[in-house]
Amino acid sequence: MNEHNQAGFRVLPMPAPIPADILDAYANIVTSHISDSMQRICGVQGLRPYHAGKRLVGRAITVKVRPGDNMMIHKAMDMAAPGDVIVVDASGDVTQALIGELMQIHAEVRGIAGFVIDGAVRDIGAFRAADFPCYARGNTHRGPFKEGPGEVNVPVSIGGLVINAGDLIVGDEDGVVAVPPDQWTYVLGKAREQAAREEQRKTAIRAGKDKRDWIDERLRKLGVIA
């Protein structure tokens, strides 16, 4: 085994690109509908947006780092193609920021779509002002080290969800979800169906015609009411 490519300190090949029609199709699908279409257990938990509100859609380039060290994030950014999302597993540590304004500018110039960080960030005013998509677990003024170890394009765990390099990342005001390649078409169809159902419900609610008898029916089955 190459001593410079061992588990814990390695860079794996880039994943296959996501077809443009898939990216375009997901551009207006909200994360709540994607989550509903994945049995409501497949979303990232505990991260919040640090930008003004721009949507995030792109291919995951995954990074696993030692808490407080961003060496391999820099490497991943240099490898990333325009439209990619840098997804970082920092074990949820928020004692040292992993990215800040300088990396945000560098990412924006390279055409990177955004960051998903299970860790901390800093210079959050810069992210809000640029509206550059950034989701993180927390923030701190304390900066990172650049020594490693770390891994690029390995499976990572982000807020309770395993994300692989090449997964489709979607983020909006409600949070972040990841869709594996073998689920893109299925989830897209289900999410569109969910959106259509909710539009029908909204129309019925506004017209005062929403059916509510399901509540008592369910309560009767549970023995709560007679």
Note the pLDDT tens digit of each residue in 28-43.
999 999 999 999 999 9
Domain ranges of the chain: 10-182, 192-222
* 220 labeled binding residue: no
Measured distance CA(210)–CA(197) in Å, rounded: 12
* 122 labeled binding residue: yes
Q: What is the pLDDT of residues 50-101, one digit of tens each?
A: 999 999 999 999 999 999 999 999 999 999 999 999 999 999 999 999 999 9
* 199 labeled binding residue: no
Show contacts of 45-48: CB within 8 Å, 24+ apart. Answer: 45/159, 45/160, 45/161, 45/175, 46/92, 46/118, 46/137, 46/159, 46/160, 47/116, 47/117, 47/118, 47/135, 47/136, 47/137, 47/158, 47/159, 47/175, 47/176, 48/135, 48/136, 48/137, 48/175
Confidence (pLDDT) at 4: 57
Match 């077809």 to its residue by tokens. Answer: 19
CATH superfamily of 10-182: Ribonuclease E inhibitor RraA/RraA-like (3.50.30.40)
* 123 labeled binding residue: yes
Torsion of the alpha carbons at 103, 107, 110 and 116, rounded to the nearest 10: 150
* 193 labeled binding residue: no
What global pTM score does this model have?
A: 0.94
User: What share of the chain in percent tops pLDDT 70?
Assistant: 98
User: What share of the chain in percent tops pLDDT 90?
Assistant: 96
Q: Grade residue 1 by pLDDT with cuts at 50, 70 and 90.
A: very low
